[in-house]
Amino acid sequence: MKMEKSDRKKSTNAEVKLKLIELYDDVFNHSGYGDITVEIRILKRGQKEVILRCGKQYRFVVDFVQA
């Protein structure tokens, strides 16, 4: 589910969490060093962009409702 800058689609928070768990498992099972970063940006219209970096970038746009 790799997404380029121009290919951002709406995602759910659950999809982002599943991808993060998948990346964690990949790094944990790797025989060497690994690095995962998470960046969250506030967008207009009640959305957030979540960027997961682990060698590649995975970008998600998620609807956000303030609690």
**Over the stretch 51-64, which tens digit does the pLDDT of each residue have?**
999 989 999 999 98
Residue corresponding to tokens 């997404």: 3
Q: Is 32 helix (H, G, I), strand (E, B) or coil?
A: coil
Q: pTM score, two decimals? A: 0.79
Buried b (16+ CB within 10 A) or exposed e, 45-59: eeeeebebebeeebb
Domain count, the chain: 1
Q: Could you tell me the pLDDT band of residue 1, with boundaries at 50, 70 and 90?
A: very low
pLDDT tens per residue across span 12-48 = 999 999 999 999 999 999 998 999 999 999 998 899 9
CA angle 41, 37, 59 (to 5 degrees): 50
Stronger pLDDT, 8 or 16, i.e. the higher one: 16
